[in-house]
């Protein structure tokens, strides 16, 4: 079944519906959801990321946000996010536990892949999430906020992470999916508030 997406003009008003493949081929502006999952551990506050499965068409084996996905026609951002959380990492989340942080714009052009997105960004806090990754996700890793600051703000060549079992993982800069400015401008201020409250 073809996934249909709502497309938008530059004023973010809906102007039509197209198949997902058309949106990416023609660079049509469409909407997605991003979820940053935060956990407090003995090492401090950190964020979970997924390693995309080797079978993914786009960016296989890259590390990316815990959850991300398209908003299909007729879906709200929240409905799409709850669905993607279940499908990608196997969590069932109460809508009241999601915190909306704002939206971002991304424009990516690589070969015949042209991705123009409005990304609705959410935060979900759980100190002990029990992940059950679907077929699109290889595994989950946890990265401390201080390591994310080194990576995102200071351009560190490598990032220290921990597996779900607490084993150390080293991730090279070129192994990450890029979401320009999202951490620094939208997520970090929320995490700094969490650190002050904690």
Query: Is the separation of the CB atoms in 30 and 140 below 8 Å?
Result: no
CATH number at residue 85: 3.90.79.10
Confidence of residue 194 (pLDDT cuts 50, 70, 90): low
Domain count, the chain: 1
Least reliable range by pLDDT among 35-44, 123-132, 144-153, 187-196: 187-196
In this structure, the chain runs to a length of 198
**Residue 196 has what pLDDT?**
55
pLDDT digits (tens, 9 = 90+) for 60-111: 999 999 999 999 999 999 999 999 999 999 999 999 999 999 999 999 877 7
Helix, strand, or coil here: 51? strand
Q: Is the pLDDT of residue 43 over 90?
A: no
Within a 10 A sphere around the Cβ of 195, how many other Cβ atoms? 11
Query: Is the separation of the CB atoms in 26 and 91 below 8 Å?
Result: no
Share of the chain above pLDDT 70, in %: 97
Share of the chain above pLDDT 90, in %: 87
Confidence of residue 192 (pLDDT cuts 50, 70, 90): confident
- The answer to whether the pTM exceeds 0.85 is yes
Instruction: Tell me the residue range of the domain where 159 lies.
Output: 4-197
**Residue 115 has what pLDDT?**
85
What's the chain's average pLDDT?
94
DSSP assignments along 110-174, one per residue: ETTEEEEEEEEEEEEE-SS------TTEEEEEEEEHHHHHHHHHH--SEEEEEETTS-EEEEEGG
Q: Is the pLDDT of residue 197 over 70?
A: no
């Amino acid at each position: 079944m073809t996934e249909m997406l709502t497309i938008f003009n530059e004023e973010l008003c809906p102007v039509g519906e197209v198949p997902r493949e058309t949106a990416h081929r023609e660079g049509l502006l469409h909407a997605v959801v991003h979820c940053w999952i935060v956990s407090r551990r003995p090492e401090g506050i950190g964020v979970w990321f997924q390693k995309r499965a080797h079978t993914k068409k786009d960016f296989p084996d890259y590390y990316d946000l815990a959850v991300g996905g398209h908003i299909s026609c007729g879906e709200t951002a929240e409905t799409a996010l709850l669905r993607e959380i279940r499908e990608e990492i196997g969590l069932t989340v109460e809508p009241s536990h999601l915190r909306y942080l704002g939206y971002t714009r991304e424009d990516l052009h690589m070969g015949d892949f042209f991705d123009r997105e409005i990304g609705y960004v959410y935060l979900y806090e759980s100190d002990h999430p029990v992940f059950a990754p679907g077929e699109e996700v290889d595994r989950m890793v946890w990265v401390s906020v201080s390591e994310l600051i080194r990576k995102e703000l200071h351009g560190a060549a490598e990032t220290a992470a921990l597996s779900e079992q607490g084993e150390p993982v080293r991730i090279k800069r070129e192994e990450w999916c890029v979401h320009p400015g999202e951490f620094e401008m939208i997520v970090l201020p929320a995490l700094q508030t969490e650190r002050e409250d904690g």
